Amino acid sequence: MKKRILAILLVLIFALVACGDKDTASPNDVEGDDTDNTEETTDEVEEEEPTVDYEQTPEMDFDLGGRTLKLVSWYDEQVGEGSPDSIAISENMEALKEKHNFDIEYVVVDYGEYQERVTASLIAGEPLGDIIRLPRPWMIPTLTRQGLFHPVDEYVVNENSFVLQYTEQHSEFDGRGYGFRVGIAGAAGGVFYNRTLMNELNLDPLQAYVDNGEWNWETFKAVAESANQDTNNDGTIDTWGLATSGILVQALAANEAAIVRDGKQNLEDPATIEVMEFISELGDGIARPTEGGDWTEPKQFFLQGNTLMYVGQDYEMADFIDGLPDHDIGFLPFPMGPSASSYQTHITIPNYYTIPSAVEDPDKIVYLWEKMYDIESIYDYPEQANFETHFNNEDDINNARLAVQSFQVIEQIDYYPSMPYYEFSGELSDGVNISTLIESYGPSFQAAIDEVWGE
């Protein structure tokens, strides 16, 4: 914009100079000089294009003939106008609709019947939509192997519009990427902690471990154990350090380990064994013991205000603000494992947009979504709006940013339905010998994997 204003000012200056020379120049000379200068300056203005430091698809000219593109999801994905960014996206959308003669319909299918309905429509060659949101294990390898989706990796190049990791890694099959994602990579996973309880127990500030580069599994265990206290001296522990030892997936991600890798069970891998040892130690008197509750029990323990740490996702902060109004709740990245290179957040079932192979013009569809989301954001980083909604403490925001610098996809029962995953993780927390677990569960894990990946 500044360059355009400068160019316009130059035009005005040249015009004023030309007018000042009228006494000594003929009318033809003045008209010729004025026209020449204006044309040169106008050419410069037209050549000044906004420059970006990322790859963009060149402008395309096409007419979709009034076609309605259906986007199918298990939630309403209509673009709102609740922020300057969403307004900019909406404006891009309307301009693209007019230029390329198309419309968009958002179709919501109940999650409980989503997989069955989408799969049936794909196999019948009559997909529910032109763009369908799918989790990786619902499509790879079974449906993708049948050629039911267009590969889109050659069209998904713009890192300002798309989260490229989802195309290059999370939707990859046989060397091609079959999905694309807009927005953010995912929620920040980490450790919520009760700063009020921390101070009451006279513990060292947990933030200091992150600040000093010491937030690892050893300090995590030490902090958890130090918060297991009998504060009223009645002989019974009444404050606990950690809500549960059932954090296998998070620990695998934090150590850059896996129980399945490249279609093979991975229990014997040294990094995976480190994870199993960690979980076993937590279950041996460090984490708060279960009282027979369901999967929500650890969160309920934390909401009682007598448990220092709970492992969860950033969006759960709203529940703690409501449920613990008199407590100051903080957020840390999950502690770094001994084999990890950085803090990590786990993803179990990455999901993204796909384009069925029965749908025409996949290149044009991806192009439209690229141009729709290719905006100059008002935010400094993609997750800023979310993080500043969840957290009001600068340390917590920075910790969430650390957590989303890298994501690890952890394959487990969501990918392999017959895998005895919960039995394995339960026995691990109960202290069953690790060598025994590997020997007992290795074959059944591999059998479950072969059921899915077998030709």
DSSP string, 69-138: EEEEESS------SSHHHHHHHHHHHHHHHHHTEEEEEEE--HHHHHHHHHHHHHTT--S-SEEEEEHHH
Q: Given this model, what pLDDT does residue 169 score?
A: 94
Long-range contacts of 224-228, Cβ-Cβ distance < 8 Å, separation of 24 or more: 224/282, 224/286, 224/287, 224/308, 224/309, 225/286, 226/201, 227/197, 227/198, 227/201, 227/203, 227/308, 227/309, 228/285, 228/286
Per-residue pLDDT of the chain (455 residues; tens, 9 = 90+): 333 333 333 333 333 333 333 333 333 332 233 333 333 334 444 445 567 788 999 999 999 999 999 999 999 999 988 889 999 999 999 999 999 999 999 999 999 999 999 999 999 999 999 999 999 999 999 999 999 999 999 999 999 999 999 999 999 999 999 999 999 999 999 999 999 999 999 999 999 999 999 999 999 999 999 999 999 999 999 999 999 999 999 999 999 999 999 999 999 999 999 999 999 999 999 999 999 999 999 999 999 999 999 999 999 999 999 999 999 999 999 999 999 999 999 999 999 999 999 999 999 999 999 999 999 999 999 999 999 999 999 999 999 999 999 999 999 999 999 999 999 999 999 999 999 999 999 999 999 999 999 85
Q: Given this model, what pLDDT does residue 32 score?
A: 32
Q: How far apart are CA 103 and CA 158, in angstroms?
A: 23
Q: Given this model, what pLDDT does residue 455 score?
A: 59
385: left (phi over 0), alpha (psi -120 to 50) or beta: alpha
Say which CATH class 67-184+349-377 falls into: alpha beta
Q: Given this model, what pLDDT does residue 442 score?
A: 98
Q: Given this model, what pLDDT does residue 53 score?
A: 82
The contacts of residue 284 (CB under 8 Å, 6+ apart) are: 431
Q: Taking each helix axis from N to C terminus, what angle separates 270-283 and 421-429, rounded to the nearest 10 degrees?
A: 60
Q: Given this model, what pLDDT does residue 49 score?
A: 53
Q: Given this model, what pLDDT does residue 90 score?
A: 97
Q: Given this model, what pLDDT does residue 36 score?
A: 34
Provide the greatest CA pair distance for the chain: 107
Hey, which bits of 293-350 come out as E strands?
307-313, 329-333, 345-347
Say which CATH class 189-347+388-453 falls into: alpha beta
